[in-house]
Every structure is written in C-alpha cells, then in structure tokens.
C-alpha cells in the first residue's frame, strides 16, 4: 500500500492524501493512516492524466523532409500530399511514427489518446499497426482507435467497405469527413451510413465536421439531427466544426438549443486549425476555432486536442497538452480568472468524457475504486499551472511511476535571486 501526502488535488479542496492499493485508489481524503510507502508531494497540484482525444498517430512526422512541406497551408493540399505519399507506407513505418508520437505525449503526462487511423487504404496498414500497439502499450497508455476514411467514405472507392472491415478488426470508433465528399448529398448520405454503422457495431462516432471557413457548411446540423433522433448524442463527437465559428448568430443560437437537447460532444484543435483556417482570407482573418466558450456555457462537453505533429497538415506540435490549452483559451477568450481556474478540464475531464473513459475503461478521476492514474504538476494550484504552462513532474499509472522528474523551475529562480 502506498500513500501520497501533501497533495493539492484539482477540484477537491478537502483532500490532501491519496491511498493506493493494487493499482487503484483505495481512499482519498485526510489522515488516511499508515502505509508501506509514503510519498510527499509537497503541496504540488495533482490531477487526472491528460487526455488527447484527437490525434493522427499514423501521420506523425510525415511532413518532414525535403519536398514534404504543405505550400498552401490548407487542409486540402495536406490530404492530397498524404494520398500521394501513403502508397509506399509500411506497417513498420506506421509503428515507428506512432511510437514516437506516443512517447512525446506520454512524456508530457498524456495517458489517454483517441487516434484517427486512415482506413482509405486497401491494406489497412495503419489500422493493423495501431491495433497491435493498442495491446502492447495498454499498461502505459490507453489508445482508442477511430476507423477514419481520410479520402472519403464514398469519394474513395471502397471506402465504406474499408470502414466496416476496420470495425470488424476492432476499431473503437467510427469516423467520417462529410465536407470532403464530392457533393453535399454525398456528405449527408455518408453521415447516415456512419450513424447506422455505429448503431450496428455499438461504437462511438467521431466526425471531422465542417473543417472549413464556409459559414454555409451544414454537416454539423445534419450529424446533430441524426444522432438526436437516435438518442446517440452522448456517444457522438463533432471534431473541428470550424465553420460554426463563422456562422451568423441567429443560426448559431438556433443550433445551440438543438445541441443542448442532443448532448453532442465537441473537440477543438486550436493550434492546427489556427494554422490551417483563414488561408483564403485577407483581413479580418478567421482563426478556425469553433464557439468553444459558448458551447461550454450551453452545457455541451468541449475538449481540446493536439491533432497533428509535424505532418502534412501542421508543421509543429510536440504532444504537450499545456501548449494546446494555452493557445486554445486565448483564441476562445476563455481567460476570465474563473475560466482559467477550471481550464484544465479542457485537457482532462472533458476529453475523458468524450472518450467515455469513466464508462468503458474502468474509471477516470482521483476517487476511491478507480484506477490509480494521475499526474503531478510543477505548480501549487490550477491558476499557476495554466499561467506558467507548468511542467509535468510525475506521471503515475496503476499506482506506479511512468516517469518522475526533479523540480527545476524554483531552483533556477532561486539561483537568479541569489545574484
């Protein structure tokens, strides 16, 4: 039995101690009694692990090297470059890229990743590689795999059959990209088929939805209507929804009521979409963010995600969710002090809700009976953590350290003060 003392637990001001036994939290509170091992956390902020609910592990580092730059910086050039270059992709290459991306994310405190895996490939190369990694790495990181038809459910010949095959292989989520289909009608029909597949296989839905600046793009409305009819909103996520940030308020206000009724989830990828969107604008330039603040106020679950790491769509990224959070709250004007104090939800609890970790993966959060998974930040409260972009000092999985780092920030500051 192990006891962690002097913990500042995010969202739990009444508890300072954590008791871990057999890989689970056995108690959380004060004065919890004796233990075989006692770890003093010295007042540092403790919270559940970071969650990255939208990442493309099979694409990582594909954008590096001579001739691989996305010259226009647009979504559609990225898709074309990936289509041209994935023809020589091997399972070993996907594994190598994915492992490097996972290492980066885990080193920054992430323990849960939803990754979209391109299945518009007759060999399903990426899905084969990621299914193996999901099992191999389950003691370190939880991988949730989306059967994602990057080149279109209908637009890619045999796309629908490949999505189904990936679900038969064990994909956890069904995905889609209706705005990339060849017509609005094709996009709508793809959503209908995807919802039917989700119901048939009893899996979650995560759609790349309206990832453009067109205020007339309406696939979010269609998706919401379909899952609202089936009472499937809580198991459905609309990712990106960039165009919803560009629509007029009268339309947005109508949709907010429908989103509240359906309980649909949203994922925003602040850094990548700020990079991709607005490329056709002069000024003012749209920044690609959905209505994050308004959706949160509406009662919908909204999470932030990395999306890409040095691929054809985004030349940066390193899996540091604190960087994603910092960019996202600025772009969303989510910077009132009360908002800052709960902003960590956007990369922890909200992402966990989107992935249904509490329901389907044994539990999420620092509570008795749940898996003893948590991280320790180099900060004493949530405000300091967000303002300082605090480093992750330790990541604990099933009560055991994945890694542990020495405190460095205060040492550097103290040396400076000594003159």
Q: Is residue 384 included in any domain, yes or no?
A: yes
Same domain? 99 vs 17: no
Under 8 Å between Cβ of 339 and 348: no
Same domain? 188 vs 71: yes
Q: What pLDDT, on the 0 to 100 scale, is given for residue 84?
A: 77
Under 8 Å between Cβ of 259 and 229: no
Q: What pLDDT, on the 0 to 100 scale, is given for residue 415?
A: 64
Same domain? 9 vs 80: no
Same domain? 323 vs 239: yes
Under 8 Å between Cβ of 392 and 109: yes
Q: Is residue 412 included in any domain, yes or no?
A: no
Query: Which residues face 237 on adjacent strands?
Result: 206, 265
Q: Is residue 410 included in any domain, yes or no?
A: no
Which DSSP symbol is given to 352? H
Same domain? 99 vs 174: yes
- What residue numbers bound the domain in which 291 lies? 50-361
Q: Is residue 169 included in any domain, yes or no?
A: yes
Query: Which residues face 265 on adjacent strands?
Result: 237
User: Which of the residues are catalytic?
Assistant: 211
Query: Which residues face 396 on adjacent strands?
Result: 374, 401
Dihedral-angle region of residue 99 (phi above 0 means left; psi in -120 to 50 means alpha; beta otherwise): alpha
Q: What pLDDT, on the 0 to 100 scale, is given for residue 68?
A: 74
Q: Is residue 136 included in any domain, yes or no?
A: yes
Alpha-carbon distance 55 to 197, whole Å? 22
Q: Is residue 185 included in any domain, yes or no?
A: yes
Same domain? 206 vs 322: yes
Q: What pLDDT, on the 0 to 100 scale, is given for residue 82?
A: 74
Q: Is residue 419 included in any domain, yes or no?
A: no
Question: Per residue in 237-287, pLDDT tens?
Answer: 999 999 999 999 999 999 999 999 999 999 999 999 999 999 999 998 888
Dihedral-angle region of residue 340 (phi above 0 means left; psi in -120 to 50 means alpha; beta otherwise): alpha
Same domain? 130 vs 267: yes
Which residues of the chain, if any, have pLDDT below 50? none
- Split into its structural domains, the chain has a count of 2
Question: Per residue in 302-350, pLDDT tens?
Answer: 999 999 999 988 999 999 999 999 999 999 999 999 999 999 999 999 9
Same domain? 83 vs 24: no
Dihedral-angle region of residue 389 (phi above 0 means left; psi in -120 to 50 means alpha; beta otherwise): left
Alpha-carbon distance 47 to 365, whole Å? 8
Under 8 Å between Cβ of 115 and 56: yes
Under 8 Å between Cβ of 294 and 337: no
Q: How many CB atoms lie within 10 A of CB 140?
A: 15
Q: Is residue 417 included in any domain, yes or no?
A: no
């Amino acid at each position: 039995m192990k006891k962690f003392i002097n913990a500042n637990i995010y969202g739990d001001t009444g508890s300072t101690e954590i008791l871990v036994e057999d890989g689970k939290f056995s108690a959380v509170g004060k004065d919890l009694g004796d233990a075989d091992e006692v770890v003093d956390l010295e007042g540092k902020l403790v919270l559940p692990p970071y969650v990255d609910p939208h990442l493309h592990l099979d694409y990582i580092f594909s954008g590096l090297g001579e001739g691989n730059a996305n010259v226009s910086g647009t979504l559609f050039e990225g898709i074309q470059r990936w289509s041209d270059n994935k023809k020589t992709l091997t399972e070993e290459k996907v594994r190598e890229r994915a492992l490097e991306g996972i290492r980066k994310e885990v080193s920054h405190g992430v323990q849960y990743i939803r990754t979209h895996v391109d299945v518009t490939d007759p060999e399903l190369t990426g899905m084969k590689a990621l299914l193996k990694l999901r099992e191999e790495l389950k003691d370190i990181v939880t991988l949730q795999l989306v059967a994602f038809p990057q080149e279109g459910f209908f637009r890619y010949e045999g796309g629908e059959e490949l999505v189904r095959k990936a679900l038969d292989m064990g994909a956890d989520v069904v995905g889609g990209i209706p705005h990339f289909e060849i017509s609005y009608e094709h996009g709508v029909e793809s959503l209908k088929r995807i919802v039917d597949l989700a119901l048939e296989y009893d899996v979650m839905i995560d759609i790349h939805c309206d990832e453009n600046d067109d205020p007339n793009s309406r696939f979010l409305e269609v998706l919401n209507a379909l899952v609202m009819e089936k009472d499937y909103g809580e198991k459905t996520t609309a990712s990106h929804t960039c165009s919803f940030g560009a629509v007029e308020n009268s339309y947005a206000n109508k949709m907010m009521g429908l989103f509240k009724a359906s309980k649909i989830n949203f994922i925003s990828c602040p850094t990548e979409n700020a990079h991709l969107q607005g490329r056709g604008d002069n000024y003012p330039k749209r920044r690609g963010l959905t209505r994050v603040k308004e959706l949160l106020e509406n009662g919908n679950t909204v999470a932030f995600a990395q999306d890409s790491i040095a691929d054809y769509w985004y030349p940066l990224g390193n899996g540091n969710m604190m960087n994603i959070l910092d960019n996202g709250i600025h772009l969303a004007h989510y910077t009132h002090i009360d908002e800052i104090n709960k902003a960590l939800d956007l990369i922890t609890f909200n992402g966990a809700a989107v992935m249904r970790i509490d329901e389907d993966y044994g539990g999420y959060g620092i509570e008795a009976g749940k898996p003893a998974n948590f991280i320790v930040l180099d900060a004493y409260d949530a405000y300091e953590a967000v303002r300082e972009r605090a480093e992750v000092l330790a990541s604990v999985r099933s009560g055991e350290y994945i890694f542990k780092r020495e405190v460095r920030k205060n040492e550097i500051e103290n040396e400076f003060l000594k003159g």
